[in-house]
Structure 1
């Protein structure tokens, strides 16, 4: 493990934990302004987390340890991904875990844990949300794997740090057909994985349209705070990974303070821009009917397959 990997492994989770609620606040503020509202301010998510942490944890009668462990699993898996993914530096703190398949498995583990918690409550809405989430993840995870695999073909490795480093050294790959197709597929995956419009509405309270919110209705206090923080962290990690896979310029390649500081500022800027674009786009997009969501996700999977084919035949 190099010094650069150690710095990234220590700094990245701190930045993700501290900055993800602010990113959510910025996105909410952008939506509010575009909709003609004043908005609660970019610090409101942190204020909400602080309020939840001061409350008592409550668990529905009859729930098991699955319900209580799900928020911890969700936060822990997201933290591990934040540590090993090349966000601020080109080297990973744990190169073995930074493999594409390991990262996707960790993200899927957190989602499955939350779905099991929704089932464990025994409520109609919890089971409905878990069922919908499993339908979405069954289509999203293969697309995520195939889209990033298309980028790894020319590199000869599924290690995310190797893919980012290779793109940094060969910028022309960004405008190749394989990269463009993979980028579109990955954008759809991020929208679905993070519960954004048009797949899900993170601000809805209509029971028949909820997906993510239906699984967490029974959580309260610190448990709900962990779920909300983990959701914000996943959004930040996904946007950061998207930025570095297709625009890695500015990422730190050495462990000097100047390089690390510049890499941090550039990464924060890229993630903020992507978050603003995503929030602005949601204002003009309506939520899809539930039965139309598989069609959207199947289309993204087809784009990912075309990206793999292009990476082999147009190399």
Structure 2
């Protein structure tokens, strides 16, 4: 594999790591403007992270290795997923290993690590958040698998770069019943996996409604910075996966530096647009009751199942 492919992988990971706080800042700013507030600025998450990195880490008494390892493992698994998913190019040294099941397993590993860290603290909130997180994950992961699997049937493989290349060569697949159903199912799954409204509210600290925040209440300093960075990276990777699968135009398919650079720019633009639309929509959405969340996720799973059925019987058309 050429040096351009290696550079493409490195650039993908670098853009995700460095750009994800800016995406979070953009979404907060859009939401603030929609609510009639000035907002703290797009770069505020970077300033928050810099402040946290300067603080002294605090480890609660009685916690074990799960609590200490979880933040780094969350960031590491998400970074590997960012390298595997064809965000800017399909011609990379890792394209052969970029399998759908592997990417979903990496994201699930980060969720499990954070849930174990919440249980490791021995607090009521940590256990509550871990239980809720695993409940959501048990419904979300199959939905992501089935939604992307519906697109893999016409391509004949679960390799993500090959699926994207197939969509580039046959864009009619994206407008097929299978493509539309898979888009809707994956969009709901992304909202649940990243803890966004209506499944979870990332800005709340109300005890009865917390999911993600309940697991990370005991973190402070650099550990909290890693947890926040990992959560923001997951949002960027999943939005990038959604954009790559259902709006793949601009993704490089060859070893051309200009094509890879264009792919990175378009990837950033597509993810920023999806983030802005999501932030604007959250202003008009209300968080659903916790006991209604399984119904919402079961509906998305049904959409994904219908997408697979449609793709199998209709051949993706």
Query: TM-score, normalised on structure 2?
Result: 0.98
Residue in structure 2 matched with residue 53 of structure 1 by the alignment: 53
How much does 1:72 deviate?
A: 0.9
User: Match of 1:65?
Assistant: 65
> Offset at 1:4?
4.5
CA distance in 1, matches of 2:124, 2:96: 40
How far 1:267 sits from its partner (Å)?
Answer: 1.0
Taking structure 1 as reference, are residues 2 and 151 closer, same or farther at Cα in structure 2, changes over 3 Å only?
farther
Residue 260 of structure 1 deviates from its aligned partner by 1.8
Q: Residue 131 of structure 1 corresponds to which residue in structure 2? A: 131
Q: Deviations over 1:130-172 (max 9, x none)?
A: 0000000000000010110010001010000000011011111
SS of corresponding position for 1:154 = helix
User: Superposed, which structure 2 residues align to 1:51-130 within 5 Å?
Assistant: 51-130=51-130
CA contact (8 A) 2:2 2:255 kept: no
CA distance in 2, matches of 1:91, 1:134: 35
Alignment of 1:16-55 (within 5 A): 16-55=16-55
Find the aligned partners of 1:304 and 1:93 in 2 and give their Cα distance. 30
SS in 1 for 2:97: coil
Note the alpha carbon deviations across 1:238-259, whole angstroms, 9 max, x for none. 0111001011001122333321
Structure 2 CA distance for aligned equivalents of residues 149 and 235 of structure 1: 21
2:313 is the counterpart of 1:313: yes
Per the alignment, residue 183 of structure 1 pairs with 183
| Post-superposition offset of 1:92 | 3.7
Shift of 1:8: 2.0
> In the aligned structure 2, how far is the partner of 1:47 from the partner of 1:245?
33
Answer whether contact 1:4 1:254 (CA < 8 A) is retained: no
**Does the aligned pair in 2 maintain the 1:153–1:311 contact within 8 Å?**
yes
Moved over 6 A (4+): none
Partner Cα distance (1:69, 1:128) in 2: 20
Deviates most, 265-274 or 109-118: 265-274
Structure 2 unpaired stretches of 5+: none
- Counterpart in the other structure of 1:169: 169
Whether the aligned pair in 2 keeps the contact of 1:149 and 1:308 (CA below 8 Å) is: yes
- Alignment partners' CA distance in 2, 1:172 and 1:146: 20
- The whole-number CA distance in structure 1 between the counterparts of 2:187 and 2:80 is 22
Question: How much does 1:96 deviate?
Answer: 4.3
SS of the residue corresponding to residue 153 of structure 1 reads helix
> Aligned partners of 1:2, 1:193: CA distance in 2, in Å?
35
Query: Aligned pair count?
Result: 315
- Distance (Å, rounded) in 2 between the aligned partners of 1:38 and 1:286: 22
Structure 1 gap segments, 5+ residues each: none
Kindly indicate whether the alpha-carbon contact (under 8 Å) linking 1:147 and 1:304 is maintained by their aligned counterparts in 2.
yes
Question: How far 1:7 moved relative to its partner?
Answer: 2.3
Whole-Å separation in 2 of the counterparts to 1:3 and 1:176: 37
**For 1:110, what is the secondary structure of its paired residue?**
helix
Please give the TM-score of this superposition, normalised by the length of structure 1.
0.98
Compute the displacement of 1:95 (Å): 3.0
Shift of residue 94 of structure 1? Answer: 1.5
Report whether the alignment pairs 1:204 with 2:204: yes
Residues 96 and 254 from structure 1, CA distance in 2 versus in 1: closer, same or farther, beyond 3 angstroms?
closer
Contact 1:151 1:311 in 2 (8 A): yes
Contact 1:21/1:232 (<8 A) preserved: yes
In 1, are the aligned partners of 2:75 and 2:227 still within 8 Å (CA)? Answer: yes
Aligned to 1:157: 157
Q: Does 1:302 align with 2:305?
A: no
